[in-house]
Amino acid sequence: MDNAITGKREVAFAPRMESRIQGFSVIGGLKGHVWDGVVADLWDVACGERAEGYYVSPDPRLFVALDVDGEGAFFVEGARGDLRRHDRAFSMAYIPAGVPIRGRVEGLRRIKHLDLHFDEAALTRRFGGSLDSDALHVSRFQFRDDRIATLAGLIAAECDSGQPMHDLYGEGLLNALFAGLFEIGQPGGQRRRTPLSRRKLRLVTDYIDAHCLGKIRLANLAALIGLSETATSHAFKAATGIPPHRWQMQARVRKIQTMMVHEPVSLGDIAEATGFFDQAHLTRVFKSIVGLTPGAWMKSAGNGRDALISATSSRNVRLLGQKPTNHSNPSNDPHIS
């Protein structure tokens, strides 16, 4: 399409999903609609006895179950086996960019669902500085929300309609849905968040560091300090500058770095041992944290690898108000065991 302001030709957003599926057959063909930076796909599929799939995309997406036929469920599984069950209408999952999942069916004959794929840059254009970009990277493999369900149902109806409304109608629905999904408030209306106290921050970070290779739920962290999940997330970020899941990934990457330096194992073996689907998944996360691929980091660090690991750890230690430990021996590192 042509941009009316610049006169330049714009390239329409297209989702880049990589998938390997078996046991599903589409009923009546795929239906959908394209808006600015958003592709909505409406699927109605029959499910075989062992229907399953592997999915990963460089773009975030929202899955909404619209109709579920059968006594079983559609299961969404993350890299660490954190399984979530979708067994009724308007059960939803938000999958961030680059996060691989497995989906499988047990006891269902058919499932109708809406997939909303969207471009992060287009979402930023919609909401500007009101959008908390960190919220885009938090997986929610199963949740329910009445407002989002209503909007998703209306979007699905647009996809299914032979006579869709003006695009501004769909754009309005999408704006409302994204505002609810990512808790986007008025421009300039963001209030200053109260950070966690040093004691509570220590409780949370100790827990994350001790369990960084496993699945950590925000509910577990909230229970430690007696706050709601939302309050815990906001207060943690106010104290550290990053959300809890990012802290966990940093702790996990430090363990990976130590394994790479001190253990004669392949990167594929490390990926399996540290909770990633495969080596490619590990590499994507590693690069997002370190800025280099694992191979490039090994080559560039040379004899100073332990010092680089120590520098990353020391930043987090300073956030807790502690004096950095001498990490020349990795066994002394409170974040790496």
Note the pLDDT of residue 329.
33
Better pLDDT: 4 or 209: 209
3-state secondary structure of 169: helix
- pLDDT, the chain, mean: 85
Close Cβ partners of 46 (under 8 Å, ≥ 6 residues apart): 24, 25, 27, 109, 110
Look at residue 315 and tell me whether its pLDDT is greater than 80: no
pLDDT of residue 269: 92
Whether the predicted model's global pTM rises above the 0.75 cut: no
Pairing of strands 38-56, 101-118: antiparallel
Dump pLDDT digits (tens) for 243-253: 898 999 999 99
Q: Which domains does the chain have, with CATH numbers?
A: 18-181 (2.60.120.10), 198-332 (1.10.10.60)
Measuring CA to CA, which residue among 195, 182, 207, 201 is closest to residue 238? 195
SS3 246: helix
pLDDT at 222 over 70: yes
Which helix (H) or strand (E) is 18 found in, with range? strand 18-26
Residue 135: name the closest of 239, 285, 287, 243 by CA. 243
Summarised one tens digit per residue, pLDDT across range 324-334 is 333 333 322 32
pLDDT digits (tens, 9 = 90+) for 23-45: 999 999 999 999 999 999 999 99
Q: What are the DSSP calls for 269-310, one per residue?
A: HHHHHTT-SSHHHHHHHHHHHHSS-HHHHHHHHGGGHHHHHH
pLDDT tens readout for residues 48-93:
989 999 999 999 999 999 999 999 999 999 877 778 999 999 999 9
Report residue 34 as tokens.
Answer: 């394209």
